[in-house]
Amino acid sequence: MKTLKLGLLGFGNAGRAFAKILEDKKQEIMDSFGYNIIVTGITTGSRGNLYNADGIDLKKAWCELEGQGHFNKAGSDYSQMTSMELVENGEYDVIVEMTPLDIFTGQPATDHLRKAMGRGKHAVTANKGPIAWYYNDLKKLADKMDVQFYYETTVMDGTPIFNLKDETLKFCKVTEINGILNTTTNYVLEELAKGKAYDAVIAEGKKIGFVEADPSMDIEGWDAAAKVTALLNVLMEAGITPRDVDRTGIENITIEDIEKANEQGKIIKLLCKGTLENGQVVASVKPTLVEQGSLMSVIDGTSSVVQITTDLMGKLTIIEHDPELVQTGYGIFSDVLRIVRNLV
């Protein structure tokens, strides 16, 4: 039996959802691929860190965080190792980047990935910042160091999009991408359409967890811009950053706009788009009128959609219906599994 060691950066909702699937599928992976996957390091921002080169008890780790909100300082694996120290000096084969997104810099996640791959380690990221800001550099580094680098969870959780292109649509050229990639704006537009005031919708959304404490990244279209940038950088080799996206959020949409659209048999959705113009990829995020009853009009709540137009396979549409955390965990798991399968 071979061993594959993982270093986990971040152990929040995504990290724990991934850890639970990994633990659950441990025996199946051993039986199918002859690999025992263990976690040697876990770092967090403020809840302590764990390190054990022979493997951490994962179940104990998530029980401690979910029970008392931090790792047990008296535990034998409790460590002072910071994220960068783990990346630079820890014993692991794959770094799994699951720290919070900084939408304007892609840091410190990008540096974590750079250092790890620079050491010849494989890398997986759930954090879209590095793919939106530095995809080309990171891909070049992965190729130079001959390591595997995957990022399925960065757009639409575990929904296979990057995977689909890599594995199933090989040599298909993607010529256009359309989608609804931000679910907070779905929710806000739907609630506004019920005649509720903007402030009331945001307050209610925060209470039920559909709207972030600071909603501006979603409402102003930055989150959607980062996601469409990630898609375009990987699928269309765009080489752009979120700042290159022609971006308009929904902050100025009024009930009058929604009613006017309704009178024309339309509704407003925050659409993402990437097309080729004179050989250059041009990207936009904009509130757009779509026909009631059309495919885009029925993507609501926490669902999202991406439409990929290709030269050899025409237009393909992938919808993620009402995702929960398990889909996020699975996206990270599927990337790790891909590494294992390629190592066998």
| 127 lines the binding site for ligand NAP (CB under 6 A) | yes
Whether 69 contacts 47, CB under 8 Å: yes
* In the complex, least distance from residue 130 CB atom to ligand NAP, rounded to whole angstroms: 10
> How far apart (Å, rounded) are the C-alpha atoms in residues 299 and 124?
29
22, 94, 101, 123: which one binds ligand NAP (CB under 6 A): 101
21, 29, 43, 230: which one binds ligand NAP (CB under 6 A): 43
51, 328, 330, 340: which one binds ligand NAP (CB under 6 A): 328
List the one residue out of 116, 108, 105, 143 whose CA is nearest residue 41: 116
Nearest 5°: phi and psi at 134?
Answer: -135, 30
| 40 lines the binding site for ligand NAP (CB under 6 A) | no
| 152 lines the binding site for ligand NAP (CB under 6 A) | no
| 157 lines the binding site for ligand NAP (CB under 6 A) | yes
4, 6, 14, 267: which one binds ligand NAP (CB under 6 A): 14
In the sheet that holds 78-79, the strands lie side by side as 78-79, 49-51, 35-43, 2-9, 94-97, 122-125, 149-150
30, 169, 325, 326: which one binds ligand NAP (CB under 6 A): 325
> How far apart (Å, rounded) are the C-alpha atoms in residues 58 and 313?
42
Q: CB under 8 Å to 170, separation ≥6 — which residues?
A: none
7, 41, 108, 179: which one binds ligand NAP (CB under 6 A): 108
| 98 lines the binding site for ligand NAP (CB under 6 A) | yes
- Among positions 286-305, residues that touch ligand NAP (CB under 6 A) are none
> How far apart (Å, rounded) are the C-alpha atoms in residues 341 and 344?
5
* In the complex, least distance from residue 86 CB atom to ligand NAP, rounded to whole angstroms: 9
1, 28, 31, 46: which one binds ligand NAP (CB under 6 A): 46
Known active-site residue 139: no
The interface mask with ligand NAP, positions 66-85, x = CB under 6 A, is -----------------x--
C-beta of 80 vs 252, nearer to ligand NAP: 80
| 132 lines the binding site for ligand NAP (CB under 6 A) | no
Sites of contact with ligand NAP (CB under 6 A): 9-15, 43-47, 83, 98-101, 108, 126-127, 153, 157, 325, 328
Catalytic residues, by residue number, are 227
